[in-house]
Amino acid sequence: MTDTIVFPGFSIKSLIDEENEAKDKKIVIGPGLKRQINDVRAIKCGILRSRTSNNLIVYWIDSHQKRYVAVRGERVIGVVVGKGAMSVNVDIGTSELASLSLLAFESATKRNRPNIQLGDLVYARILSANKDMKTELICVTSQMKKDGLGVLPQGGFMISVPLRVCRRLLSPGCKLIEILGSKFKYEITVGLNGRIWIRSPSITETIYIVNTFLSVEDKDEQGMLDLYKQITDKFQVIVR
């Protein structure tokens, strides 16, 4: 039953019972599924997937969505739209602005605050995402290290894509970022809220890379393979 298209209301209880008769594993219900009293039902339309590890089976639904909903632990790109005394308001594409404390940066103290202006881009991790509260972001890992988070450098261009494009780019099977890297020198940041930031030394290259990522949206497996081939073949000679 996994890897088939399911509709909202579809019950996966039978599937769970079937696949877990003898095994004693813990079952984790992921996004797109909701547990009801005796039943687990799909609440989104999409493809049902599952993954088994040592003592866990995870079920989730892959759906097509453009609007991002904040989830704890995900890394996102946000635009600073408001500044306060001790925090900044960041737009991450959710229904409400998120707040990012100015102390949540590596080696930041009350006297030593990071240099953030309105309109800057930040790559941050979602600390808390409750539906009843404002989303909180931080720019350090749990070991208080930077690890790539923080204010993104000046320049570059940011694009918005559907969420599954970002997930596809970050999945282990996708080689697009590496293949482009073999031909171009560029910097890229992928946020799970459907935003990608790209910076390249020349304008033409940035435009080409941006358009490549924008075209990933409507390509299937074969289309991606064609795209890899096109990049490797077409750009044999680059005048720098």
DSSP 2-43: TTSEE-TT-B-HHHHHHHTSS---EEEE-TTEEE-SS-EEE-
Of 25-33, 37-45, 113-121, 133-141, the segment contacting other proteins by CB under 8 A is 113-121
Query: Which CB, 104 or 196, lies closer to other proteins?
Result: 196
Please report, in angstroms and rounded to a whole number, the separation of the first and last CA atoms in the chain.
52
Maximal CA-CA distance, the chain: 64
Nearest distance from residue 88's CB to other proteins, in Å?
Answer: 11
Residue 220 makes CB contacts below 8 A (sequence gap 6+) with: none
Query: Which CB, 95 or 141, lies closer to other proteins?
Result: 95
Candidates 178, 218, 221, 233: give the one binding other proteins (CB under 8 A).
218
Candidates 30, 73, 155, 201: give the one binding other proteins (CB under 8 A).
155
Of 11-19, 103-111, 116-124, 139-147, the segment contacting other proteins by CB under 8 A is 116-124
Residue whose token pair is 């940066």? 105
Nearest distance from residue 22's CB to other proteins, in Å?
Answer: 29
Q: Which two tokens stand for residue 157?
A: 């261009």
Query: Which CB, 51 or 67, lies closer to other proteins?
Result: 67
- Each residue 91-110 as x (binds other proteins by CB under 8 A) or -, in order, gives x-------------------
Question: How far apart, in whole angstroms, are the C-alpha atoms of residue 228 and residue 83?
Answer: 42
